[in-house]
Structure 1
Amino acid sequence: MDKRLNAYRDDLAEIALEGQVSASRFTSGDLGRIVTAVAPLRRSPRPGAPLDTELLFGEELTVLDRTDGWAWVKSGRDGYVGYTPTGTIGPVGPAPTHRMAALRGFVFPRPDLKAPPIMTLHFGSRLAVVGESGAYAELADGGYIYSDYLRPIDELEADPVAVALQFLHAPYLWGGRSSLGLDCSALVQLSWQSCGIECPRDTDMQFDNFGSLLNYDGDENSLKRGDLVFWKGHIGIWLDRDRFLHSNASDMKVAMAPLAFTAERIAAKGEGPITGIRRPPMPIATAS
């Protein structure tokens, strides 16, 4: 049973797994939400533990345990399980009314661009707006953010590929999920989530469960914009014969190059051939 998506330890497990795993006790946990710009989700409760993913401001989660400054949590967005510092978590609060549609933007203590910012929020963050002051939205958590950065929570992006292109040149970060640093599978997940299409977090999950597998024989003429190309442990987005987009550790950023060039470079590093191509679900407006 995949521990990335199923919370169980010898001493404690989520109540949904009762009867499926052995644990000293089971819990339904408590609901919370992220109150920092980005919250690391680590594999174990220590600062130097591997970063598996990140949660963004306003995303909800279930807190299963709190010990020595760390919380064992399960993301309400994609079900990912891990450890985050307890200081990143607050009460659920008002329902989000808006989402962050800009790659990043500052929150100010008052509606004044000259005021020292108190936080930087990232694409995909979920916010509760309680008022307006000129060009700024007032947030339930306090502070003001430029209104044009926001979209109503139910106003979805129309094209995941266009969203992914906005991240061009963003730094690569293993486990990252924000414009300050993200990995290959996070680029895909964030782009499709913004269009209302839920997507698993990691590359292997995406290969197993996202879209339909193509019978690809190497002819790029059979591909469509938005098709997902996989290697072992890597994923990217095919745009056209001259452009393939991916967040990668060779460029250490989100970069674009022809698929043939990318495949040759990956093979030259000893990381193997393309393992498959999947056609993901697309919003109706871009599915043709």
Structure 2
Amino acid sequence: MTNFGICLLSCVPVRLKNSDKSEMVTQLLFGELFTILDATKNWLKIKITDDNYEGWIDKKQAVFLSEEEYQMLDRQPKSFCVDLVNLLEINNGLSQPILFGSTFPNLSENTFKIKDVTYTFSGYNYLPEKGNPSKELLLENALAFIHTPYLWGGKTPFGIDCSGFTQVIYKSVGIKIPRDASQQINIGEKLYLLPEATPGDLLFFGKTEEHVSHVGILLSDEKVIHASGEVRIDKIDHFGIYNDELKDYTHRLISINKIF
């Protein structure tokens, strides 16, 4: 067994422990690379290359890579699927579902190759321009997730958590951010007043910066988009998120971070 792998399924649950009954802490999406830290008969402990997040996956859901294959795929320019759901055609005549945020290495004329298998993707993809991420596209992608149900550990249009939402939306414009809100709050430039923020900035909520419990994306001067029960839009002010249905504040604002 090698020490490197890639996800070639639509999405794979990453669990806290090596058991199907264990909590799902995140998900792997198609094209995401990982290194292997440990293994049992049926499970692999992995570290996801993009964000260094660790967890366990079912060995049957992994595709192993040589170190040379891993390094080559990691170096190649990457396009990202920005359709919520589409199909990926495989050169054996079959196809498979593909989800928003999936990674396509070295995509050229709608095709790319992984381990001698040629894939064709005819949907909407985005190749980030180095040093020039698009705020407009980031907000457009965020709005596409409206009414996606909340799912702890989720990163897909079929279920997503608050920090999975912010991570995959930033990934779609070529910016890697950590997986959890408690990690995301430590990146970017800190702003101290809401009027200083611009759409696309990250907003953090909780008791204190050491006890962050929620994150969302500023949509406009008075609106935030976030995953709470579902991906939804609520009012935001210097106190926090105000839910019109409940007529109350649901999350206390503790930090504003500008990522780009």
Q: Is the structural similarity TM-score above 0.5?
A: yes
- Which secondary structure does the structure 2 equivalent of 1:258 belong to? strand
Q: Specify every segment of 5 or more residues in structure 1 that has no aligned partner in the other structure, as ranges.
A: 1-28, 283-288
Matched residue type, 2:234: A
- How many percent of aligned residue pairs carry the same amino acid? 26
Which secondary structure state, in structure 1, belongs to the residue aligned with residue 123 of structure 2? helix
Let me know the Cα RMSD of the aligned residues: 3.2
Report the CA distance shift for 1:269/1:184 in structure 2 as closer, same or farther (over 3 A): farther
SS at match of 1:256: strand
Unmatched runs of 5 consecutive residues or more in structure 2: 207-212
In 1: Cα distance, 2:56 partner to 2:127 partner: 30
Q: What's the offset of the Cα at 1:175?
A: 0.5
**Is the aligned partner of 1:256 residue 2:256?**
no
The aligned length equals: 239
- Structure-2 change in CA distance of 1:212 and 1:269 (3 Å): farther
Letter in 2 for 1:82: G
Deviations 1:215-271 (A, max 9, x none): 23xxx544321232222211111222442101112xxx21112225972449x7999
CA distance in 2, matches of 1:179, 1:46: 25
Whether the 8 Å CA contact 2:126–2:172 is kept in 1: the answer is no
Task: Give the corresponding residue for 2:199.
Answer: 225
Contact 1:211 1:278 in 2 (8 A): no
Structure 2 residue aligned with 1:5: none
Query: Could you say which residue in structure 1 is the equivalent of 2:100?
Result: 123
Note the alpha carbon deviations across 1:191-231, whole angstroms, 9 max, x for none: 22222322111011111x12222223xxx544321232222
Normalising to structure 1: TM-score of the pair? 0.71
Matched residues in 2 for 1:271 and 1:258: separation? 9
5 Å matches for 1:191-210?
A: 191-207=169-185, 209-210=186-187
Give CA deviations for 1:90-115 in whole Å, capped at 9, x if unaligned: 1335636543232221124569xxx8
- Say if 2:151 is the partner of 1:173: yes
One-letter code aligned to 1:178: T
Normalized per residue, the structure richer in strand is 2
Distance 1:68-1:226 versus aligned 2 partners, 3 A rule = same
State which structure, 1 or 2, has the greater radius of gyration over its C-alpha atoms.
1
Bigger relative contact order (CA 8 A; separation at least 6) = 2
Contact 1:107 1:143 in 2 (8 A): no
